[in-house]
Chain A
Amino acid sequence: MPTSDPCLRIEGLIKDFGPVPAHDGKMVRVLNGVDFTAHQGAVTALLGANGAGKTTTLECAQGLQRPDGGLVHLLGRTPHNAGPALRSRVGIMLQDGGLPPGSKPLPLLRHIAKMYKSPRSVDELAERLGITRFADTGIRRLSGGQKQRLALATALIGNPEVLFLDEPSAGLDPQSRQVVFDLIAEERANGLGIILTTHLMEDAQRLADYVYIIDAGRTVAQGTVSELTSGPNKRESRDLVFDAPPGLIFELPEPLTIAENTPGRYTVTGIISPTQLAQLSAVWEATGVLPHSISMVPRSLEDVFLDLSGRTIS
């Protein structure tokens, strides 16, 4: 990680919503101690299942919501109700865009560019993101992916120092996804601090330098992708996946764990040595099971998430 001052620092963030009728009219604590730090020139991802508090965390960081406790510093300032000066240094791509449905892409982008003293070239950015191909279609008639690219363009047009992306690859076809990912990598190399949320492990694994995992409103793990996916004692741990008749129960020695995620497909986690592999094969021998197929796979962020929260992310 770079050692410079963080562009975003969140400590012990608390946020209550409500009063909620479904909870006897009481307040509900949706964030209960989120820690998160992001630096310039790096992509920092916020991972979590739906409802874990990703978007609320992001909104507090962006200043769109007022935190009920904890500390939030964006470029060294408190972002809540930020004025134009801070807004001009921060690019925000909202999850549902909020693009005015009655406008057209290119005029909107030109309009937003006028809000900045020294914006990027509208034409160049529109060309880069393929917006010129639908420049004169009304925004209400654009596809989800087209809106997504336009929203990214409006976030980048002001040459920000920090860029927030909420689920950046949602609705994108593989080609536009590649364009967007290349652009993110380029902006990262230019020194932008990029903060993104995603529930797609693949995106986080491809893009992120550093990952924070939140669950039930708290930060439960953080690290680089390789730190998070390596085993408890920091050696590369792998999963072993084998196929056998469904519904079998295996008793494995510590620290191995087993799960039958789909019927007949078993995943064993925690294998870090050939000895443990031998122990597993001893269990097969004892139960008289001969797997149809066996493969070793590196642990993914998905597995890490499953371990931490006991459920899948998507």
Chain B
Amino acid sequence: MNAPASLPRRILAHGAYETTVMLRNGEQLVLAIILPLLALIGLSVTPLLDGFGDTRINVATPGVLALCAMSTAFTGQGIATGFDRRYGVLRFLSTTPLGKAGLIYGKAIAVVCVLAIQVIIISTVAAFMGWRPDPGGIPAAILLILLGAAAFTALGLLVAGTFRPEATLAVTNLLWILLAAAGGILIPASELPQGVQPYVEILPSSALGEGLRGALGNGSLDILPMITLVVWAAAASIAAIKWFKWS
């Protein structure tokens, strides 16, 4: 009688598989590397962030790292999963012993792997451009990025599992642009009009951006952004598990 491979083996195998799929996808790579680099350069040559910290690059880099987490976990994985559903790939995978846990954690591993590559590349380029993060804030920053990845992956899977693939494409891209521009991710929420500030501050984009700017800028460990991200991750996971349609 045949048996499935153990769950950790299936998760690792699927994580490695999803990672190669993500890295082989050209458009995905543009989204993952080129766009954040453009944002980094754009924010350090324009006076947009003047007045928020000591140097432009020190304020810009944490925001761009937050942008990476959002694009890979939310837009990238959302669109990929939406089309997996359309092409019957999720259905096909559901006929194998992979299982739901294998699929979800495998995708999460892929997001973390791609995110790690992004963080290394962006941080290196930023360091050459003069970025000097506070070393004491790095562990908190890593935790924030992982929480952000969890929240945005769950949100991406929620959209992909409930909308048509074309709608997923539109919704995730539109939200990405809106949140990147006015979601408190690159530009602090305090820069926005008074009336919208309280709403922007509870968004996961703002929580991740503010949290990273605080941790990497002056080593401050602010608990509020972490709680915000945990709440978003939990709510989106529950909703995704409840409403996700596999075919």
The answer to whether the Cβ of B98 comes within 8 Å of any Cβ in the partner chain is yes
Once the chains bind, are B13 and A114 in contact (CB under 8 Å)?
Answer: yes
Q: Which of B42-50, B58-66, B84-92, B169-177 contacts A (4 or more CB under 8 A)?
A: B84-92
Q: Secondary structure at chain B's binding surface: helix, strand, loop or mixed?
A: helix
Least CB distance from B79 to A in Å reads: 12
Once the chains bind, are A103 and B21 in contact (CB under 8 Å)?
Answer: yes
Q: Across the interface, name the chain B residue whose C-beta is closest to A112.
A: B96
A161 to B88, CA, bound (A): 24
The answer to whether the Cβ of A228 comes within 8 Å of any Cβ in the partner chain is no
Q: Using a CB–CB distance below 8 Å, which chain A residues touch chain B?
A: 62, 64, 83-85, 87-90, 92, 94, 96-103, 107, 111-112, 114-118, 154-155, 158-161
The answer to whether the Cβ of B17 comes within 8 Å of any Cβ in the partner chain is yes
Least CB distance from B48 to A in Å reads: 37
The answer to whether the Cβ of B24 comes within 8 Å of any Cβ in the partner chain is yes
Contact A92 to B95, CB < 8 A, known contacts A98-B89, A103-B21: yes
Once the chains bind, are B95 and A64 in contact (CB under 8 Å)?
Answer: yes
Q: Using a CB–CB distance below 8 Å, which chain B residues touch chain A?
A: 1-5, 7, 9-10, 13-14, 17, 20-21, 24-25, 84, 87-99, 102, 247
Known: A98-B90, A116-B97, A161-B2. 8 other contacts (CB 8 A): A64-B94, A85-B3, A87-B95, A94-B91, A100-B21, A154-B92, A154-B96, A160-B2
Least CB distance from A199 to B in Å reads: 21
The one of B3, B21, B89 in contact with A88, judged by C-beta atoms closer than 8 angstroms, is: B3
The one of B9, B24, B88 in contact with A102, judged by C-beta atoms closer than 8 angstroms, is: B24
The one of B1, B10, B24, B89 in contact with A115, judged by C-beta atoms closer than 8 angstroms, is: B10
Least CB distance from A190 to B in Å reads: 13
B4 proximity list for chain A (CB < 8 A): 84-85, 87-88, 115-117
A155 to B3, CA, bound (A): 15
A107 proximity list for chain B (CB < 8 A): 17, 20
Least CB distance from A175 to B in Å reads: 26
Once the chains bind, are B99 and A83 in contact (CB under 8 Å)?
Answer: yes
A115 to B13, CA, bound (A): 8
Q: List 14 A-B contacts (CB under 8 A).
A: A84-B99, A87-B99, A89-B2, A90-B95, A92-B95, A94-B92, A103-B21, A111-B13, A111-B17, A112-B96, A115-B4, A115-B96, A115-B97, A154-B96
Least CB distance from B67 to A in Å reads: 24
A112 to B91, CA, bound (A): 14
Once the chains bind, are A117 and B21 in contact (CB under 8 Å)?
Answer: no
Once the chains bind, are A98 and B10 in contact (CB under 8 Å)?
Answer: no
Once the chains bind, are A100 and B89 in contact (CB under 8 Å)?
Answer: yes
Q: Which of B21, B96, B99 is most buried by chain A, counting CB atoms within 10 A of its CB?
A: B96
Q: Across the interface, name the chain A residue whose C-beta is closest to B92.
A: A98
